[in-house]
Structure 1
């Protein structure tokens, strides 16, 4: 990164940014904090679950102490009762990027939600609102029949391209929602509505954390135990007490169902820890697949080694 120093000693970053993606438990937040402290940075959240105020420990949001060290933006800004789209995140993130640049700070966008990064760097198609019954039907099909069922339903609905070209359950479900609601394939909507990227390749340094699998699995297991701590259980207990729909994104976060089963006495502590560990590993694997397929040109960084952050940029 070609930063220069201003007269006050701060780095003049222009309209540049650092992007840090990676699977859950890979150390993204710690790396972002280190870089922000060294580079007069502002950390901007790109993780869909860390948007929710009810899920600090369960979603592994930075602690209050960490947030006090450098500015953190878009963390804990939503109630669990709300849903949030990629387009809505992009609008807020764009605003935070502008604010950071105007303040002479370096924005550091960090998280595990691949769609957010894709929208930021490749442009975004402003898709129509999907009726909740259509969205619920696609999610139910995904839960019951998985990728095979989604592909079959997509082909039947008239979007053979998405059925043949997609393999991620979330993206397949999204394509199914769109064609069922509008009668138009997702690819056609994207072609007609695609906006310009907010950050070009030349305007940012892009990193994907790619840790060795055993190292990541050990950290995931430790996180599962932390989520089952008294604080984590109390967080989930308070969330469940609100009586919200189980179809809301916050209620579908990894940890809510598993800890809820433990709190209700459905499973013992060890079984809950195993369930949490397995679910988180599966999620990390899906994230890694996304990053490998969608972010092939991003620089890979192994967080299991001692990183020289100055050498990264």
Structure 2
């Protein structure tokens, strides 16, 4: 249930209608398909989607865009849903949320889990509410699977009954308490899901869900069709190679030929910058999160004090929070003591994990062809102007100007070489004494 924004899910619940036009026949040429698809698009409600790697500036862009388009923001961030996790998730400030309504922010306690299926339902209903109020939905975040399901739809996986859910919880509860992950995985594998062994270690939510689906349907989760795969397969066989070189429009063949079947007119933008600049920005951002009395360490302390353990559920697995909780846990084991070397080791791990996360985001979205990649190093006003024009003038295609384009891949060997030799250069934490105030705070609060 959405607890902030203009409306609640209970009072504004309506599924978007299907396209009025049937899918186009594959025997048509690409150009004819594109013309018909463009005509269909004019009849659809527009939804803007903005993504990008962590630290790319997508939240600021979305906020300014919402102001200029009379929009509201739907967060597609798997950490911003949690109350109290503000600094580490770069959550919009209270003033920003007063200025522009935000949905799916601060809707859960950190002890609760939140799934991609729940996000799909909540985000789609929030979008419907925003449109019904005559405003523009702007979905922003970097959680790739959230956005993929939001755009293409969720798999038609059966819901488990309360009886099966209770049974699964009983089977896995003791194993989770004992942190016996391997035995739990083998239990699910024997139940009928061999792919359970490839789940991330300690991802108990997905393990429980896998067992629920297997017990409910007799088939593992992988047996159910994923809507995104259908769009991708249609795109792969619908564009003739001889004509694909003429495309200089929105996305590639998959989106041009099949987006007529999507529920909305999704206008998707991916904001990024050159990898070296992005990595430096991420490193500085991690430092900034440690400054002041109410930084990420204070939030990690609060999580520990509520009885949560690092890497035990969705909130405590989040990058930054996991590393901070593990660091404070070690400090507590040492009677509230930490050396400068231990602090710098924690900071290094935090920065490295954040950069690796950005790298995974870039890899994920490189294959999401519906997104137009924009250069985040350009002036904000320039990017805003382009997206504003795209929204108002959209007719099925709008090429990105050369000066705003961002390559999906590393542009040259020189950049690749510099990335391999990249080393963090901090701004605030350089010498041992630079972290003395944090070590003093630890000695006072972590005994």
Do they fold alike, i.e. is TM over 0.5?
A: yes
1:223 matched residue in structure 2: 285
Q: After the TM superposition, which residues 252-267 of structure 1 pair with which residues of structure 2 at under 5 Å, given as runs?
A: 252-263=317-328, 264=331, 265=337
Deviation at 1:74, TM superposition (A): 0.9
**Separation (CA, whole Å) in 2 of partners of 1:17 and 1:104:** 12
Partner of 1:283: 357
Equivalent of residue 238 in structure 1, options 288, 295, 302 = 302
Alignment of 1:109-128 (within 5 A): 109-127=139-157, 128=159
CA contact (8 A) 1:58 1:255 kept: yes
What is the CA-CA distance between 1:274 and the residue it aligns to? Answer: 1.0
The answer to whether the 8 A contact 1:125-1:195 is kept is: no
2:379 equivalent in structure 1: 306
Which of structures 1 and 2 has the larger relative contact order (alpha carbons within 8 angstroms, sep 6+)? 1
Does the 8 A contact of 2:156 with 2:226 survive in 1?
no
Residue 188 (structure 1) aligned with residue 214 (structure 2): no
Seen in structure 2, the aligned counterparts of structure 1 residues 59 and 191 have a Cα distance that, compared at 3 Å, is closer
C-alpha offsets along residues 223-275 of structure 1, whole Å, 9 cap, x if unaligned?
11122223122222112100025421111111123223443246633222211
Kept after mapping to 2: 8 A contact 1:123/1:195: no
Structure 1 residues 53 and 202 mapped into 2: Cα distance closer, same or farther (>3 Å)? closer
Aligned residues: 285
Provide structure 1 residue ranges, at least 5 long, that are not aligned to the other structure: 1-12, 142-148
Separation in structure 1 between the aligned mates of residue 111 and residue 205 of structure 2, nearest angstrom:
21
* Counterpart for residue 145 of structure 1: none
8 Å CA contact 2:73, 2:100 repeated in 1: yes
CA separation of 1:69 and 1:199: change in aligned 2, threshold 3 A: farther
Which of 267, 270, 282 matches 1:205? 267
Task: Tell me what 2:252 maps to.
Answer: none
Evaluate the alpha carbon distance shift between residue 90 and residue 191 of structure 1 in structure 2; reply closer, same or farther with a 3 A threshold: closer
The answer to whether the 8 A contact 1:124-1:190 is kept is no
**Contact 2:103–2:126 (8 Å) recurs in 1:** yes
SS at match of 1:51: coil
Q: Aligned equivalents of 2:194 and 2:61: distance in 1? A: 41
Let me know the Cα RMSD of the aligned residues. 3.8
Per-residue deviation, residues 139-166 of structure 1 (Å, max 9, x unmatched) = 956xxxxxxx99xx98x96658x99xxx
Contact 1:175 1:185 in 2 (8 A): no
Counterpart position of 2:132: 102
Unaligned regions of 5+ residues in structure 2, if any? Answer: 1-42, 232-258, 332-336, 391-447
Range with bigger deviation, 44-53 or 301-310: 301-310
SS in 1 for 2:84: coil
**Paired residues for 1:4-19 under 5 Å:** 15-19=45-49
Whole-angstrom CA distance in 1 between matches of 2:108 and 2:261? 25
SS of the residue corresponding to residue 190 of structure 1 reads coil
Segment of structure 1 superposing worse, 182-191 or 30-39: 182-191
Matched, 1:80 2:155: no
In structure 1, what is the Cα distance between the partners aligned to 2:261 and 2:139? 11
CA contact 2:154–2:226 (8 Å) conserved in 1: no
Which one has the largest radius of gyration? Answer: 2
Cα separation, partners in 2 of 1:177 and 1:235, compared to 1, 3 Å: closer
State the Cα distance separating 1:62 from its structure 2 match.
1.0
Residues 270 and 302 of structure 1: CA distance in aligned 2, closer, same or farther (over 3 Å): same
Q: TM-score, normalised by structure 2?
A: 0.56
Once residues 31 and 202 of structure 1 are traced to their aligned partners in structure 2, the CA distance between those partners, rounded to angstroms, is 22
Q: For the structure 1 residues 305 and 199, does the alpha-carbon distance in structure 2 shift closer, same or farther, using more than 3 Å as the test?
A: farther
**What TM-score results when the alignment is normalised by the length of structure 1?**
0.77
